[in-house]
Amino acid sequence: MWAQEGFGGVSLSNANSTTDVPNNIEHCSRSGFRVYPDEIVRDGYGHYVRKKSYDDPHPSDHIKSVAVGKKGSPSPETADTFVTTNQVQPEDL
């Protein structure tokens, strides 16, 4: 390794380093631990986690909602009726 002077000061570089070796380490999305690819699984939420950090999705996550067109009561709603003046007298209460 040798030092090279740059704009922001000294930067270190290694003339003998290579980047052609593939990295065989994965990162757990939940804990951040570095693990080998055979120790990692995909959980129900789409994250790649180690087997010790695996958590099943909650059963209510798989419940489907009702479509908008199929919501509501099967019978149509009746028209609203409004009280006009002088229909209700104090004696009626």
- What is the secondary structure of the chain as a DSSP string? -EEEEETTEEEEE-TT----SPP--EE-TTT--EE-GGGEEE-TTS-EEEGGG--PPPGGGGPPPPPGGG-S-SSPPPPP--PPTTSS-GGG-
Segments forming the whole domain that contains residue 51 = 22-56
- How far is it between the farthest Cα atoms of the chain? 102
Q: Is residue 68 part of a domain?
A: no
- pLDDT one-digit tens code per residue, 29-73: 889 998 888 899 998 888 899 998 888 888 887 777 766 666 666
Q: Is residue 4 part of a domain?
A: no
Q: Is residue 30 part of a domain?
A: yes
Quick check: 11 pLDDT over 80? no
Q: Is residue 44 part of a domain?
A: yes
For the chain, how many structural domains are there in total?
A: 1
pTM: 0.42
Return the structure tokens found at 81. Answer: 């009726």
| pLDDT at site 26 | 87
